[in-house]
Each structure stands twice: as C-alpha cells, then as structure tokens.
Structure 1
C-alpha cells in the first residue's frame, strides 16, 4: 500500500482546562496501577495470605485492566466518550472501595478485578481521545500517569504511618484513591473532556486490517520492552555485582517520565512516525549497551529516556490512520506484551544466566525498530497537512 502521508489536519490543541481534567484522571490511574506491588506486605498482614498467594490480587487487577479496553472500544461509538468515562470511573471507584472495605480475601480480589476493569475502561477511552488530540496532549497525560505511579508508594507509606501499622494503612490508601476518582469526575464535569473527533480512518470505510495489525504488533513489542526492562533490570544488575540496582531502576522510570514531559512540550514539531522511529533506534542502542557491565546503569537510564515517547506518540500516530474507536484495541496488544516479555526474560535468566537479559531486550528492541519501519512504509509519518 502506498504511504498515506500527509494526513488531514487534526483538531486544534486542547485547552488548559481540558488538559487539567486529563491530568487529574491519569494521576489517579497511575496511583492505582502502581499501588498493588508495594501493598503486598499489607495484604499479607491484613488477610493472612502467603507470599505465594498475594500476587493474585495484582493479577486480578491486570486481567481487568487488559480486558476492559475491548469493551471501551465497542462502546465509544454507541455511548460517547463522556458516558464511557463516567461509567468506567464509577466501576473503578466501586472496586477500590470494595478493596478498602473488604473483610475477606476473595472480596478483595473481586474489588481488584472490578477496579482493573474500570481503570482499563477509562484508560482505553481517554487514550483514544487524547491520541486524536495529538502528540503533545497524549504525552502530557501519560507523563502525569507516570507521576501517579511514583506517588503510589508514598501514599501507602503515609497511610500506614497514619494507621499505625502496615495492614491498617490499606483502607486509608484505597479510600484516598476512591476520593481521587471522585475529584477526577468533578474535574471532567467542570472542565470537560477532549472531543473524540473523527480521524482519517473514520471516513475510509472498513478498517485497514493490515495497518491495525502493524500498530497492534508495535504496541505489543514496545510494552514488552518497557515492562520487561523495569521488571528485570534490578535482578540482572544485582547478579552482575552492581550495588544499587534499585536506584538504577528508579532512574529508568524517571527517564521514561521525563521524556514524556519533554515530548508534551516539543512533540508537535516532529511528525509522530519520525519521532517513534528515532526513539526506537535509540532504544535499540541503549538496550544493547546494558550488556556492558560498566555502562549498564547509565544505559538503563538511557533506555527509559528513549522509550518514554514511544507509547503515547505511537497512539497519536495510529489515530491519524485508524478510527479513534480502534485505539483501545491497541492497548490490549500492549497488555499482551506486558505479560509475555517478563515471562520470556525470566526463562532466559533462569536457563542462560543474567547475561541473556540484555541480549533478549536488544533483540526485542530490534523487532520494535523493524515494526516501526514497516509501519512507516505502509502509512507514512503522520505529518500534519499544510
């Protein structure tokens, strides 16, 4: 298929008030997404579950958040953005309250599943809307999501200190998240949400399945690289003799967030496809450098900076060539990558040793770069017209 560059112009940039509503919502989503891991000891103490069992609550949450974008994509054209976001937010709040108040472990698991479904629905719908709005807007809200992820452990620590023990902090932490959901709904009602405007893909008849498949594969591999790096960097560095692997992982996630902030400020100066191509190339180089023991800490931070713009910018790029309602389906592909890649890296680490992890990450980054090139050949860079 010949390149479709240049694409039709997109809607005007969002107002500060609408970006404020998005910031409130994505901050809440980031806090909830990141709180389960740090809360494992509190769940163990509160419900008397073992270390082997406690991880199930995070799995329940992620199953819900991975499945919900499919439903959000189907409902967007029928109910509209506002109704989908409101309904999913109420479901999210109900799940979080159930986790906060649950007297038993099975009910807490149900709450995590419901909260995950709500989070996935809100994320799927709003990522579609902000992707249509452009590179700067979607990088901004995803940067705020990253800030929320960094706030989550601090919230849990504060709640535990207020309650006087680890287990007692759970209700306060999750009740606070429920309150943030309420504030997000108030912000959306007061400031509004972005208009889910029609894109080029909405007027082109049937969905181009080849284009959809390429973007879905790109998201699958990218999220695999992002999550796999964050999950296995510390263990790989520790096995290689580095003394502060946790700090390196923090630098990795910090670099990811900083890159999205910078892209939210400057991203519209570069066509989405070109930006994703450059970031993917840098990700490949940085991932390969993690194999060098002396350079590994710096290389992991560089991987974070390189990866940062890819996820949101690729969604903005996809929204210029696919119907907006298809964007949530791409998130499902990303969730699959986040499940598969850490597992594959674990197999490599166990069977081949820690040195296999950088090689596998570099290989995945190479596949990512190839997918970006193939997508560029099919649809073009996504540059604005005129």
Structure 2
C-alpha cells in the first residue's frame, strides 16, 4: 500500500485538495440562497435556480468527459471551478452569478470523472477504500464553508472569493498529478456494460442528496430556525456526511457495496421521519450521515456491474446528475408553500420507496 501511495502521491494529494474545494463551494449554495434572494431582490424559488444551474453545469461537464475524457487533466478541471467561483465572488448581477454556478458546476462534473475512476484503479484492491477516503475529504470543505460563511457575516461574495483563491493555488500545483492521472487512465480496461437499474438507483439517491445540501437550509428556516442556525446545522450535516465516508473506509471490505447502499436508504427514511415529526435539526444532521454513503456505495456497485471502461464513469455520474439537476428545479418553487416540514415528508417518501426497491433487488445487485 505504501508503494502505491508513493507511486500515485501527486494524484492523491491534488485529488484530495480538489475534493475539499468541491465540498466547500457546494456547501455555500444553501446558506447563500436567502442572501442572494435579498441582495438581488428575487424570490427564494428563483434563487434556488442557482442550485440547478450548478447541476446543469455538472451535466455539461460530464457529457464533455464522455466524449473527450482522456484529454482532460486535473489542472484543467480545477481551473474551471476556479473561474466559476470567481464569477460568483464578483457579485455584480444575478445572471453573472448564475453563469458562475454553471461554470463551477462544469468543473465539478469534470473533476468527478477525472479523479474518481483513476483513484479506484490506481489503488487496485484498496481502490474502494481509497475512493471512500477521497469522497470523505469532500466533507472537510463542506463542513468548514458554512462556518466560514457565518464568520464572514453571511457574505457569499467573500466566501466564494476564498474558494476561488483555493482554486488558484490547486491549479498552480496540479501539473504532476496530470502525469499520474494520464498513466492510470491509459491502463487496460474492460468492455462497457450498460446497466439501467443501478443507474436509476443512483439518479434518485443523488437527487435526494442535491436537495438536502441545496434546499435543506431553506427548509430548516421554514421549520422555524434562524439563518445562522441553519448554516451551522449544514456544517453538522456535512460533519456527519464526513463521518459516514470515513466509516466506509473500514467496512467497505466487510459488506457488499449495494447492501451498504440499501442500509443508507433505510437510515435516510428514518432520519427524514424524525425531521418531519419531531426535530428538524437532529433529523437533518442524521440525513447527512446517510447521504454520505449514497455515492461511494452506488458508484462501486455500478463499476462492478458495468466495468472500468473510460465511458463508464461519466455514464454513472451523468445518471446521478439527472436527479441532481431536476429535483431541486422541481422542488424549489414549492418550498415556501410546503408548510413548516413538508420538505422532510417529501424526502421520507422518496427514500422509503427507494429503500423498498433496493431490498427487492438486493440479491441481484450483490451478485
């Protein structure tokens, strides 16, 4: 294992730094929504379009990677995220902010395709554990960003400016990682095997995650919490998110990946019920723990079913982005009219139905 780490050190370090940046930028959307709504004098539902703009950008980035993924380098994808965060930091006009979210999303989508499959392949049998480690570092940025946001006086311009500065530093250091990534990407691969069921599971699960991270703070405010409390709970959400992904490093080899995915759905259903019936704050944080397991367990299952062909990763991630784009777009206009805890009832319904479907397909998915 130490030899593998030394061989792929540049790829590992830049991957981790990039995922911290991705987590920080994504976690800012939720607490920034009410502020952008006031600053640009727009409805909260209109401000929610920023989340969909991000995921639309992700979809464009993943689509580009499907056709030209082997040409992309870590430096290129981080530079795109940096440009997007920089545009949002300017705070000049709402259309420019939306454009920044699209470009940031494009870099984000490309980064998931550049880093995830290469890490999985570079570390061989330890690949699933290292994938969990990489995706856990996403939580580091996601935990810190809302706290920094509050410390800066709920200022999205300064917060996104810090993300842009981080991106500049990572881009400047990403050259050696590009060489490691190219070596891993050009290794022999298996044929492409399309598997629709696992892609549907991923699309629905990621739609829930996107709604929780993007609309969760606004839903907490609807439930009677302050903006500051909602931002702090988002940090706690991502702390639980991080804990789940660190835990996956130790259990990934003990339980089948789809079994872990199913357990995470059952847990999310129960946590959403807690948020809807009794305590929105603790229930939301518990949802963070469950959501932290969605992507790594589904991704490992999907690659096992579909192979490690260069087109597999963008297909898996693209399917998840379908949910990430459309779910916030559909829900955000109704958020203010759902009632105090209607958002959490929706989450409970979706995760409950998906958990039942996962239980029905457990044997075939683990085969």
1:309 aligns with 2:293: yes
Determine which of 217, 232, 238 is the counterpart of 2:200.
Answer: 217
Question: In the alignment, what sits opposite 1:195?
Answer: 184
Sort the Cα spacing of 1:73 and 1:85 in 2 relative to 1 into closer, same or farther, 3 A. Answer: farther
Determine which of 137, 140, 161 is the counterpart of 2:130.
Answer: 137
Question: In the alignment, what sits opposite 2:61?
Answer: 68
Q: Aligned residue pairs: how many?
A: 353
Sort the Cα spacing of 1:15 and 1:228 in 2 relative to 1 into closer, same or farther, 3 A. Answer: same
Determine which of 246, 251, 263 is the counterpart of 1:261.
Answer: 246
Q: Which moved more, 1:244-253 or 1:355-364?
A: 244-253
3-state DSSP class of the match of 2:253?
helix
1:366 aligns with 2:364: no
Determine which of 249, 263, 281 is the counterpart of 1:278.
Answer: 263
1:297-343: CA deviation from partner (whole Å, max 9, x where unpaired): 43333222222222112111211121332222222222232343345
Once residues 70 and 257 of structure 1 are traced to their aligned partners in structure 2, the CA distance between those partners, rounded to angstroms, is 28
Once residues 82 and 40 of structure 2 are traced to their aligned partners in structure 1, the CA distance between those partners, rounded to angstroms, is 24
Cα distance, 1:27 vs structure 2: 1.4
Matches within 5 A, 1:237-252: 247-252=232-237
For normalisation by structure 1, the TM-score amounts to: 0.73
Higher helix share: 2
Question: In the alignment, what sits opposite 2:5?
Answer: 15
Give 1 or 2 for the bigger CA radius of gyration: 1
3-state DSSP class of the match of 1:308?
helix
8 Å CA contact 2:272–2:283 kept in 1: the answer is yes
1:88 aligns with 2:77: yes
For normalisation by structure 2, the TM-score amounts to: 0.77
Determine which of 11, 17, 21 is the counterpart of 1:24.
Answer: 17
Sort the Cα spacing of 1:101 and 1:189 in 2 relative to 1 into closer, same or farther, 3 A. Answer: same
Question: In the alignment, what sits opposite 1:299?
Answer: 283
Once residues 338 and 84 of structure 1 are traced to their aligned partners in structure 2, the CA distance between those partners, rounded to angstroms, is 24
Cα distance, 1:190 vs structure 2: 8.0
Once residues 37 and 177 of structure 2 are traced to their aligned partners in structure 1, the CA distance between those partners, rounded to angstroms, is 36
8 Å CA contact 1:69–1:125 kept in 2: the answer is no
Question: In the alignment, what sits opposite 1:124?
Answer: 113
Sort the Cα spacing of 1:355 and 1:70 in 2 relative to 1 into closer, same or farther, 3 A. Answer: same
Question: In the alignment, what sits opposite 1:3?
Answer: none
8 Å CA contact 1:31–1:177 kept in 2: the answer is no
Cα distance, 1:145 vs structure 2: 1.2
Cα distance, 1:291 vs structure 2: 3.2
Question: In the alignment, what sits opposite 1:5?
Answer: none
Sort the Cα spacing of 1:101 and 1:258 in 2 relative to 1 into closer, same or farther, 3 A. Answer: same
Sort the Cα spacing of 1:108 and 1:342 in 2 relative to 1 into closer, same or farther, 3 A. Answer: closer
Cα distance, 1:171 vs structure 2: 8.4
Matches within 5 A, 1:33-72: 33-36=26-29, 49-52=40-43, 59-72=52-65
